[in-house]
Amino acid sequence: MSRIRVAIQKSGRLSEKSLALLQNCGLQFARSKDKLFWYGQDFPVDLLLVRDDDIPRMLMDGVCELGIVGENIAREVMLDRNGGTGLDLLRKLRFGGCRLSLAVPEDSTAQAAKDLDGARIATSYPALTAHLLKEKGVTARIVELAGSVEIAPGLGTAEAIADLVSTGTTLRANHLRELEVLFESTAALYCGAGELPDDKQALLSRLLMRLDGVLHAAESKYVMLHAPRDAVQKITELLPGAEQPTLLTLEGNSERVALHAVCRETLFWEHLEALKAAGASAILVMPVEKMLA
Ligand code: PRT
Ligand code: ZN
């Protein structure tokens, strides 16, 4: 029987969440402590543990069928190696969020990307940065650095940097000011461009169905509440992403009913307050673990 391989980051920011996501899809692996290959036990999907930078090339070269990697790296490798193509983004995932931003020394006079025309910009993402700047009509002189990009302006090797930012602490610690966001990135599931053989495609479809179930369940909530019978329609409309609710009679109370519904969109406190204002009481919100539409 055919099997497919998924590459994930071996150790780093994306490792734990990538593995947890696959496990939530029901995949279990026979771990080997230091080996890079974990055999899939119940489902014919095996794991390759590698450096994140290697994942796009492995997909393009057909070493594995699937990979979880930051969009920042996938885009960089596609632009660098393949004119911007070579991988298909299957699903964006809800972790690894960051932005590729231009930053300048705090005392720089630059106010926007266009003020950096002709300046030297240090980055670990040379192809992506050059591409995004070109889209803005800025001609950059890219200084490629493998790491510690944030110290380049202080060393006098560049006037600005283009680096990943999440909290901004690193920029502040290096007396840099975020000038402009070039690109928003999250971790994503990718496959190589091109068709898979039918048997592997069927496996991939099964895996994607489970993954969609996990991703939808993550933001879905099961809501139970009591409502005045004549406010049921209004209350249903206040539930974000809910379809027809289930109504149950309350023993000994003909004025009010119990209403159960699945909300497929994030439920905020504001929603609950609005429900209460519309007459709802005994509001219970519960997580949904799995979901198959
Ligand atoms: O060893 P390997 O090559 O596999 O790992 P790596 O060291 O290259 O990657 P890793 O684990 O650092 O990051 C993996 C992916 O996480 C990146 O490709 C991004 O898609 C994503 N990610 C999310 C980030 C950040 N957030 C992030 N903050 N990657 C890097 N950073 C850096 C940032 O540049 C800064 O230097 O972390 C530092 C802290 O950021 P602040 O803004 O919170 O100070
Ligand atoms: Zn890396």
Question: Whole-model pTM?
Answer: 0.90
Residue to mutate (ligand 1; options 51, 52, 99, 184; most atoms within 8 A of CB): 52
Residue 249: both structure tokens together: 């009679």
CB 73 less than 6 A from any atom of ligand 1: yes
At residue 123, the pLDDT reads: 98
At residue 165, the pLDDT reads: 98
For the chain, the distance separating the N- and C-terminal CA atoms, rounded to the nearest angstrom, is 28
At residue 1, the pLDDT reads: 78
* 166 phi/psi in degrees, rounded to 5: -120, -65
CATH number of 220-287: 3.30.70.120
CA atoms 135, 140, 144, 150: torsion sign: negative
Fold for domain 4-95+187-217? Answer: D-Maltodextrin-Binding Protein; domain 2 (3.40.190)
At residue 290, the pLDDT reads: 85
At residue 234, the pLDDT reads: 96
Given CATH 3.40.190.10, say whether it is the number of domain 98-185: yes
Q: Which residues of the chain are modeled with pLDDT < 50?
A: none
Are the beta carbons of 99 and 75 closer than 8 angstroms?
no
Nearest residue (by CA) to ligand 1, atom 43, is 167
Domain 98-185 in the same topology as domain 4-95+187-217: yes
In order of 91, 126, 211, 245, the CA distances from 293 in angstroms are 17, 42, 12, 16
* 31 phi/psi in degrees, rounded to 5: -75, 140
